[in-house]
Amino acid sequence: MAHDLEGMVSHILEEMHALQGAMLPILHAIQDSIGYVPEEAVPLVAKGLNVSRAEVHGVLTFYRHFRRTPPGKHVLQICCAESCQAMGANRLAEHAKKALGCDFHELSRDGLFSLEPVYCLGQCATSPAVMIDGEVHARMNPEKLDRLLEGTES
């Protein structure tokens, strides 16, 4: 794993280090390939970009999109912004927490799902919205969410 990670990160660095402002594209590329940005990647990226580890750590922890631990097999994001609130998003979020047996930013009891809040998926005309593994679903309610989770579990 450690060896693989080094290989992967150095490959990404090779491709991207010449970009202007390469930090975010590199962190995106790491997360895109393994689902998160592990601690061990930080010094590699720092070295590749000739910045301090603190700099990379700062960026990594500033942006909500970047995960520092492996996600579940599936990622469920629930929109918690105003438009979705007006259509019962808080109730939906509570339901999801109960159904998955975890809080936001945690793994579900069975380890299959990461549960995350998100602030707007741009589906405000048909709120509330959720996203599972990049697929958006609108006009959600607890019953529909249960069916969706059932269909995703595998």
Residues that bind another protein (CB under 8 A): 20-25, 27-28, 49, 55, 58-59, 62-66, 81-87, 118-127, 129, 131, 134-139
| CA atoms of 112 and 147, how far apart (whole Å) | 16
Question: At residue 2, what is the residue type?
Answer: A
5/136 with CB nearer another protein = 136
Looking at the Cβ atoms of 5 and 120, the one nearer to another protein is: 120
For residue 72, the minimal CB distance to another protein (Å) is: 18
Which residue number, 72 or 128, has a Cβ lying nearer to another protein?
128
Q: Smallest distance from the beta carbon of 98 to another protein, in angstroms?
A: 17
Query: How far is residue 76's CA from residue 115's CA, in Å, rounded to a whole number?
Result: 5
**Phi, psi (rounded to 5 degrees) for 121:** -110, 5
The number of residues making up the chain comes to: 154
Kindly state the smallest distance separating residue 102's Cβ from another protein, in Å: 19
Of 3 and 61, the one with the shorter C-beta distance to another protein is: 61
Residue closer to another protein, measured from CB, 91 or 109: 91
- The distance of closest approach from Cβ of residue 20 to another protein in the complex, given in angstroms and rounded to an integer, is 6
Instruction: Quote the CA–CA distance of 64 and 60 in Å, as a whole number.
Output: 8
Smallest separation (angstroms) from another protein to the CB of 43: 17
Cα–Cα distance measured from residue 127 to residue 120, given in angstroms and rounded to the nearest whole number: 10
